[in-house]
Amino acid sequence: MAIRGPKPRATVAPNLQKGGIPRCPDHLDHVARKEWRRLVRPLFEAGIVTTADRAALAAYCQSYSLWADAVQKLQETPKLIKAPSGYIQQSPWISIANKQLELMGRYMAELGLTPAARSRLDVGTDAAHEPVTRIELVAVSRDDDGNLVKRPLHDHARRAAEPQKQDRTITYQLDERL
């Protein structure tokens, strides 16, 4: 009997440094290794992949490689072929590509590689990852006494009319040497 309900929320690995970045398995082919290198560091740094997830990432990369190969072969061959019995059938490369794409989709969901999968990840929040809600431009210069003076570069009337709220502000300063 299957349990119904929403998919469980994945949690980010609490100790990212334990075990370090997973090593690429030796059995992966060139295309799979290239996909591994593209994904392993960002997934590790996001806390999604640890050494315990090495097999799942390897399986995704191998499925990606087989899918890419099938798609390449499909571009080089007809989409429909005549079987020895005389019947017209679709190229076997279509079936291979579709199956690998299906497997890739499963692994992508598990590894947080789709927008929907990322929305289910419980990554927590901290101040460094809060969304930026306002950007403030500031001119920096020195006064007659040599002190730094910061002068905002924005429309005061527009800012006064906006409702005040808690913002995370990024301030860009123009270098005085410019």
- How many C-beta atoms lie closer than 10 Å to residue 151's C-beta? 10
The length of the chain is 178
Residue 125: both structure tokens together: 């929040």
Tens of pLDDT along the chain (178 residues)?
556 666 655 555 444 445 789 999 999 999 999 999 999 999 998 888 888 899 999 999 999 999 999 999 999 999 999 989 999 999 999 999 999 999 999 999 989 888 888 777 655 444 455 555 666 677 777 888 888 888 777 655 455 555 555 555 555 555 555 4
Beta-bridged to residue 90, according to DSSP, are: 80
Residue 99: which of 55, 66, 53, 123 has the closest Cα? 66
Helices then strands, counting H and E runs in the chain, come out as 5, 5
Distances, alpha carbon 75 to alpha carbons 24, 92, 156, in Å? 29, 13, 59
Task: Write down the pTM of the prediction.
Answer: 0.59
Amino acid letter, 112: G
Can you tell me the distance from the alpha carbon of 102 to that of 118, in angstroms, rounded to the nearest whole number?
A: 18
